[in-house]
């Protein structure tokens, strides 16, 4: 039997001022999954997320979120959703506990004191409940913000770039928490520009120019790109990028630190293109898997050719 779906939408479209910013967007997300939205600025991630949960009415398309019709039952959906908006902020001049209590009040929750205490306990902030939220570090602010978004125990959690500007350790802790929530049955939609976060999603999709270009697990997306990639290391590897750029057979040459990823979609043509440098002194060549970043850069290059 197929798992129950948290999201099941078909052909969503949104226009702003006559300009189509999301077109023909269809997706199914099973309950309890962490689903990532990737794509460049302005590709339609936020707009799509808002349509999926009934916050924004699509100009075309239909679908259900948590079993409710996104067009006609938006109020029922909103009650069951936690939404950490892009650039979400806390009330910095309220204490940690007051922030939680305020949100509990807005949602009209019962057992307010107990819920706030539970949330503080889970966060490990019980001892600091009277500290002003504005004095927390960036990572802790995000964790507290997440706690305010799940206080009413939503079935679906929407996180729009929740860790922008947060350090790697704090991001990892944040993601551990997201995984714990998903294991408890919550469905999570998260937009991000970070590749390591994409790799922590059960499934991802990539948007460009308002279109869904690919979706799947990270290995599926990587394999589906059809890219063949060589890793070049050694003195001058990164400088080679400019020389190789735009040669026939080479889709792209992307420096990673002092090494270089050289990719193409035709293994033989790629090999012919790199042949003059394969035995250059000081350079080491080996075949590697394309990184997710390689795949997205390639998708973006192809999308530019197709859509502009």
Spatial separation of the C-alpha atoms in residues 45 and 26, rounded to whole Å: 13
* Site membership for ligand ATP, residue 16 (CB under 6 A): yes
Question: What's the min distance (Å) between Cβ of 160 and Mg ion?
Answer: 6
Question: What's the min distance (Å) between Cβ of 86 and Mg ion?
Answer: 5
Q: Long-range contacts of range 173-177, CB-CB < 8 Å, 24 or more positions apart?
A: 173/139, 173/143, 174/139, 174/142, 174/143, 174/146, 175/200, 177/143, 177/146
- Restricting to residues 130-149, name those near ligand ATP by CB under 6 A: none
Segment near Mg ion (CB under 5 A); pick from 51-59, 79-87, 202-210, 294-302: 79-87
- Restricting to residues 40-69, name those near ligand ATP by CB under 6 A: 41-47
Pick from 209, 212, 147: nearest CA to 174: 147
Contact with ligand ATP (CB under 6 A) among 32, 36, 39, 61: 39
Q: Which is nearer to Mg ion, 164 or 241 (CB)?
A: 164
Query: How many C-beta neighbours within 10 Å does residue 79 have?
Result: 13
From residue 58, alpha-carbon distances to 25, 49, 209, 271, 295 in Å are 10, 11, 17, 47, 30
Contact with Mg ion (CB under 5 A) among 9, 25, 35, 46: 46
Q: Which does 200 bind (CB under 5 to 8 A by kind): ligand ATP, Mg ion, none?
A: none
Question: What's the min distance (Å) between Cβ of 39 and ligand ATP?
Answer: 5
- Restricting to residues 79-108, name those near ligand ATP by CB under 6 A: 86
Can you point out the beta strands (E) in the chain? 5-16, 19-30, 34-38, 60-65, 68-69, 81-84, 156-160, 187-191, 203-208, 211-216, 228-234, 252-256, 259-264, 283-288
Q: Is 246 helix (H, G, I), strand (E, B) or coil?
A: coil
Q: Which is nearer to ligand ATP, 164 or 259 (CB)?
A: 164
Question: What's the min distance (Å) between Cβ of 190 and ligand ATP?
Answer: 12
The conformation of residue 145, written as its DSSP 8-state character, comes to: H
Judged by CB under 5 A, how many residues of this single chain contact Mg ion?
A: 3
Judged by CB under 6 A, how many residues of this single chain contact ligand ATP?
A: 12
Q: Which does 32 bind (CB under 5 to 8 A by kind): ligand ATP, Mg ion, none?
A: none
Q: Let me know: does 45 contact 191? Beta carbons within 8 Å.
A: yes
Pick from 243, 247, 257, 249: nearest CA to 293: 257
Q: Which does 192 bind (CB under 5 to 8 A by kind): Mg ion, ligand ATP, none?
A: none
Contacts to ligand ATP by CB under 6 A: 16-17, 21, 39, 41-47, 86
Contacts to Mg ion by CB under 5 A: 45-46, 86
């Amino acid at each position: 039997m197929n798992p129950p779906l948290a999201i099941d939408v078909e052909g969503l479209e949104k226009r702003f001022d006559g300009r189509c910013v999301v077109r023909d967007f269809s997706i199914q997300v099973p309950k309890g999954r962490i689903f990532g939205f990737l794509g460049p600025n302005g590709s339609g991630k936020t707009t799509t997320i808002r349509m999926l949960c009934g916050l924004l009415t699509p100009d075309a398309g239909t679908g259900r979120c948590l079993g409710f019709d996104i067009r006609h039952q938006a109020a029922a959906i909103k009650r069951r959703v936690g939404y950490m908006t892009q650039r979400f902020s806390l009330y910095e001049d309220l204490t940690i506990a007051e922030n939680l209590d305020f949100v509990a009040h807005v949602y009209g929750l019962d057992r307010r004191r107990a819920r706030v205490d539970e949330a503080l306990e889970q966060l490990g902030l019980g001892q600091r409940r009277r500290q002003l939220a504005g004095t927390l570090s960036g990572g802790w602010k995000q964790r507290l913000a997440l706690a305010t978004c799940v206080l009413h125990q939503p079935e679906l959690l929407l996180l729009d770039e929740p860790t922008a500007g947060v350090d790697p350790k704090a991001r990892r802790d944040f993601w551990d928490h997201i995984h714990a929530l998903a294991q408890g049955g919550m469905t999570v939609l998260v937009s991000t520009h970070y590749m390591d976060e994409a790799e922590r999603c059960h499934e991802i999709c990539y948007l460009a120019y308002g279109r869904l270009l690919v979706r799947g697990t990270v290995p599926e997306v990587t394999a589906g790109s059809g890219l063949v990639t060589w890793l070049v290391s050694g003195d001058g590897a990164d400088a080679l990028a400019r020389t190789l750029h735009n040669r026939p057979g080479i889709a792209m040459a992307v420096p990673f630190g002092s090494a270089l990823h050289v990719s193409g979609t035709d293994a033989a043509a790629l090999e012919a293109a790199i042949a003059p440098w394969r035995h250059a002194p000081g350079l080491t060549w080996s075949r590697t898997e394309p990184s997710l970043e390689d795949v997205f850069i390639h998708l973006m290059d192809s999308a530019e050719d197709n859509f502009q």
